Amino acid sequence: MATFISVPLKKSSEADLVKPLSKFVTATYSAGEEQGEYIRAVEELNKLRKNALGRPLDKHESSLEILLRYYDQLCAVEPKFPFSENQLCLTFTWKDAFDKGSLFGGSVKLALASLGYEKTCVLFNAAALASQIASEQNLDNDEGLKAAAKYYQLASGAFGHIKDTVLSALNREPTMDISPETVGTLSLIMLAQAQEVFFLKATSDKMKDAVIAKLANQAADFYGDAFKQCQYKDNLPKEVLPVLAAKHCIMQANAELHQSVLAKQKKRFGEEIARLQHAAELVKTVASRYDEYVSVKDLSDKINRALAAAKKDNDFIYHDRVPEVKDLEHIGKAALVKATAITPPLSQKFTDLFEKMVPMAVQQSMSIYSQRKAETVNRLVGSMREATNLCNGVLASLNLPAALEDLSGDSIPQSIAEKARSIVQQGGLQSIEQLIKDLPELLTRNREILDESLKMLDDEETTDNELRTKFNQRWNRTPSGDLYKPLRAEGTNFRNILDKAVQADQVVRDRYGSHCDMIALLCKPENELNAAIPSANPTKTLQGSEVVNVLRSQLAQLDEMKKERETLEGEIKAVTFDMSTAFLTALAQDGAINEEQLSLSQLDQLYGAYNQRVQATLRTQEELLGQVQTSHQEFSSLKQSNTEANQREEVLKKLASAHDSYVEISSNLREGTKFYNDLTEILLKFQNKCSDIVFARKTERDELLKELQQSIAREPSAPNFSVPAYQSTPAAGPTPAPRTVFVSSNSRSQTLNTTEHYKRQMVVYRSVFLLLSAFQAQQPQQPQQAQQQPPAKPQPPARPPPPAFTPQAASTPPTNTPPTGPPTSNPPPVAPPSQAQGPPYPSYQGYPGYFQMPMGYNPYAYGQYNMPNMPSMPNMPYMPYQATPGQGGYPGAPPAGQPYPGYPQQPPQQQPYYPQQ
**pLDDT tens digits, one per residue of 695-723:** 888 887 887 888 787 777 766 655 555 55
CA distance 883 to 690: 89
Q: Would you say 283 and 249 are in contact if contact means Cβ atoms under 8 Å apart?
A: yes
Shared-domain flag, residues 353 and 305: no
Shared-domain flag, residues 59 and 107: yes
Q: Give the residue from 655, 690, 707 where a domain finishes.
A: 707
Q: What pLDDT score was predicted for residue 406?
A: 55
User: DSSP class of residue 441?
Assistant: H
Shared-domain flag, residues 234 and 156: no
Shared-domain flag, residues 16 and 75: yes
Q: What pLDDT score was predicted for residue 678?
A: 87
Shared-domain flag, residues 481 and 519: yes
Shared-domain flag, residues 83 and 197: yes
Q: Mean pLDDT in runs of 10 for the chain (917 residues)?
A: 84 90 86 86 94 90 94 92 80 86 59 90 96 94 94 96 90 87 94 95 93 95 92 80 94 94 90 93 93 90 93 89 88 92 90 86 84 90 88 81 61 71 78 83 90 91 88 82 85 89 85 78 71 58 65 85 89 86 82 85 90 91 86 71 62 77 82 87 86 83 80 64 52 40 35 50 62 57 43 49 42 42 43 41 43 45 44 45 47 50 46 40
Shared-domain flag, residues 35 and 169: yes
pTM given for the model: 0.58
Shared-domain flag, residues 14 and 100: yes
User: DSSP class of residue 541?
Assistant: G
User: Counting beta carbons within 10 angstroms of the beta carbon of residue 121, is it exposed (0 to 12), middle (13 to 18) or buried (19 or more)?
Assistant: buried
Q: Would you say 469 and 637 are in contact if contact means Cβ atoms under 8 Å apart?
A: no
Q: Give the residue from 307, 331, 357 where a domain finishes.
A: 357
Residue 183 domain-assigned (yes or no): yes
Q: What pLDDT score was predicted for residue 424?
A: 79
Q: What pLDDT score was predicted for residue 543?
A: 53
Residue 616 domain-assigned (yes or no): no
Residue 477 domain-assigned (yes or no): yes
Q: Give the residue from 643, 672, 707 where a domain finishes.
A: 707
CATH code of residue 506: 1.20.140.50
Q: What pLDDT score was predicted for residue 830?
A: 43
Alpha helices, DSSP H, located in 533-594: 546-573, 580-590
CA distance 237 to 822: 69
Residues of the domain holding 258: 215-323
The per-residue DSSP string of 42-81 comes to HHHHHHHHHHHHSS---SSHHHHHHHHHHHHHHHHHGGGS
Shared-domain flag, residues 66 and 194: yes
Q: What pLDDT score was predicted for residue 843?
A: 42
Residue 649 domain-assigned (yes or no): no
Run of H or E residues at 593: none
Residue 875 domain-assigned (yes or no): no
Q: What pLDDT score was predicted for residue 761?
A: 60
Q: pLDDT tens digits for 366-382?
A: 888 888 898 899 899 98
Phi-psi region of 852 (alpha: psi -120 to 50; beta: other; left: phi over 0): beta
CATH code of residue 14: 1.25.40.280
- Paired strand residues for 12: 94
Q: How many CA atoms lie within 13 A of 339 on its CB side?
A: 22
Residue 120 domain-assigned (yes or no): yes
Shared-domain flag, residues 201 and 222: no
Q: What pLDDT score was predicted for residue 483?
A: 82
Task: Return the number of other C-beta atoms located less than 10 Å from residue 439's C-beta.
Answer: 20
In order of 80, 879, 885, the CA distances from 786 in angstroms are: 105, 18, 16
Q: What pLDDT score was predicted for residue 787?
A: 41
Residue 291 domain-assigned (yes or no): yes
* Nearest by Cα to 86 from 64, 114, 62: 114
Count: domains in the chain: 3
Residue 723 domain-assigned (yes or no): no
CA distance 528 to 877: 130
Shared-domain flag, residues 419 and 445: yes
Shared-domain flag, residues 111 and 128: yes
SS (H, E, C) 701-770: HHHHHHHHHHHHHHCCCCCCCCCCHHHHCCCCCCCCCCCCCCCCHHHHHHHHHHHHHHHHHHHHHHHHHH
